[in-house]
Chain A
Amino acid sequence: MSSSEDPREKLSDAPRHRQTYRDLYDGREPFFPNFLLKEWIIGAMFIVGFLIWVLLNKVGLGSIANPNDSSYIPVPDWYFLFLYQALKYYPGNGEVFGAFLVPVIVTLLLIFLPWIDWSKNRRPFKRPLATASMVLVIIMMSWLTAEAWAQHQAEVGGSAAGGSSSSSSSGLPFAVQHPTSTALMATSMPGYQLFENTCAGCHGQNLEGSVGPELRGIGNVASSSQLLPVITKGFPPNMPPGGGLTNKSQLQQIADWLSQQKQK
């Protein structure tokens, strides 16, 4: 074979290397099918990962809704926890502020962001105020979510430790056994009047419960010293700390009276 027939022989005017696709490619490409196929690779991995998660994590179903069981400890889905937790810090009238004013302001800030952060700068470090605010918001939301979850776990755990038979039906730290006798006891104690004025709106004039749970027979399962911290802490946002009372001796009187409610 003569050398001139060797196919590897360089032709005089041919480029030294064939230009590869890589050399021509500057990253720009048509949306379909080129780009979408690549995005679909990410999409496919995303869907497969999602399906594996779904198969490994069965979804449960609690017990059927019971509108009469107001002792159930409510909890929103995880992505609302930060809001739920934020509301706990606005007891009493502050709830208007927490449930309305703050969310409205935040929403408006979000919607009008392009006109608030109006400069032409796009780099995060060239607009430190916007960037710092968003980072702060993310940290706050994460913290509130974690805090809400920890508090919820503590409440649910507390009710289990208190001897509640079914953790899903009773949110009370003390199990109350719906006694058959309904008469109030020890109504001459000072705690009685305090209860009627402050707590009865939710727990009922005769402890029968309405917004808050029934408290008849609470004295059978809890002592005054056990009740005091529970009342003082409350169950925000459903029950404000101390039921709205802050006076320590009044709270003590209510706890004393409640511990005498030993209806059978």
Chain B
Amino acid sequence: MIKRTYDWIDERLNITPLWRDIADHEVPAHVNPATKMSAFVYCFGGLTFLIIVTQILSGMFLSMYYVPDINNAYYSVQYITNQVLLGNVVRGMHFWGASLTIIMVFLHMLRVFFTGAYKAPRELNWVVGVLLFFIVLAFGFTGYLLPWDQKAYWATSVGAQIAEQVPVLGPYIRLLLVGGSTVGALTLTRFFAIHVFFLPAALLVLLGAHFLMIRKAGIAGPM
């Protein structure tokens, strides 16, 4: 039944070559932890992706209850933590997952750095990687404000103050971030929009490019 459905679709869309290309390409021995345990450093990119997938899933569930306005944000997070079934676990996953993502991205970057895998012909993928790194940091910065507790509020205020120090553009960057003269209702809504719409869109596009380039250039050879 499943096979007949697949064949029916395949006859019309010819999807087999698409996934066959991904499935059949050969993975060299030097990145396979089954041949050499130390090759686990090559898993860091994949593990980053895995933890990002869990971030997206836990974030989707959090957004069912989270309310992005200054009167309710704090209480909605409190509600998620104390009332919602497994809410504290989902929030815990998203909270700790943020730190873990940063750690894994950093480790992955160090792996690429110390194996010299950013050299020709993989320069462009390194650049995409650096952009991904900044996107992940931006996720952290915008997400930190969303619970709207004291820690969130004052960290963002200081962040905005620091952004203001940039010569010439500083005040504009601050205004763009904060949306007004002090961190407030406008800041929360725009941080929310950036955190759940703008950044995920950018992340997915860049990840797509990242993976496409890995497939095109292949993984860098043994040292």
- A residues contacting B by CB (< 8 A) are 26-35, 38-39, 42-43, 46-47, 50-51, 53-55, 57-59, 61-67, 69, 72-80, 84, 87, 95-96, 98-100, 107, 110-111, 113-115, 117-118, 120-124, 127, 130-131, 134, 138, 168-169, 237-238
CB of B77 closer than 8 Å to a CB of A: yes
| B92 in complex: contacting residue of A31, A57, A96, CB < 8 Å | A57
Minimal Cβ-Cβ distance residue in B for A111: B130
What is the 8 Å Cβ interface bit string for chain B, positions 40-70, against chain A (1 contact, 0 not)? 1001001100110010000000000000001
Q: Which residue of B lies closest to A74 (CB)?
A: B154
Q: Which residues of B contact A120 (CB under 8 A)?
A: 119-120
Tell whether, in the assembled complex, residue A66 and residue B223 are in contact, meaning their CB atoms are under 8 Å apart: no
Q: Does A124 contact B158, Cβ atoms closer than 8 Å?
A: no
Within 8 A of A (CB), among B147-161: 147-155, 157-159, 161
Among A47, A76, A114, A238, contact of B126 (Cβ-Cβ < 8 Å): A114
By beta carbon, the residue of chain B nearest A123 is B223
Which B residues touch A38, using CB under 8 A?
32-34
How far apart sit A64 and B153, CA to CA, in the bound complex (Å)? 9
On whether the beta carbons of B32 and A27 are closer than 8 Å, the reply is yes
Q: Which residue of A lies closest to B74 (CB)?
A: A64
Task: Point out the residues of chain B lying under 8 angstroms from A33, CB to CB.
Answer: 23
Contact A29 B47 (CB under 8 A): no
User: Is the C-beta of B11 less than 8 angstroms from some C-beta in chain A?
Assistant: no
Q: By the criterion CB–CB under 8 Å, are A113 and B118 in contact?
A: yes
Q: Which 9 A-B pairs have the closest CB atoms?
A: A27-B29, A122-B116, A65-B153, A74-B154, A32-B23, A114-B123, A62-B149, A27-B35, A99-B165
Residues of A within 8 Å of B148, CB to CB, are 64-65
Are B118's CB and A114's CB within 8 A?
Answer: yes
Q: Is B144 an interface residue (CB 8 A)?
A: yes
**Contacting pair B46 A74 (CB below 8 A):** no
Kindly identify which residue among B30, B35, B115, B140 contacts A77, using a CB–CB cutoff of 8 Å: B140
Contacts A59-B92, A123-B223 hold; do A74 and B22 have CB atoms under 8 A apart?
no
Bound complex: CA A145 to CA B115 (Å): 26
- B189 at interface by CB-CB < 8 Å: no
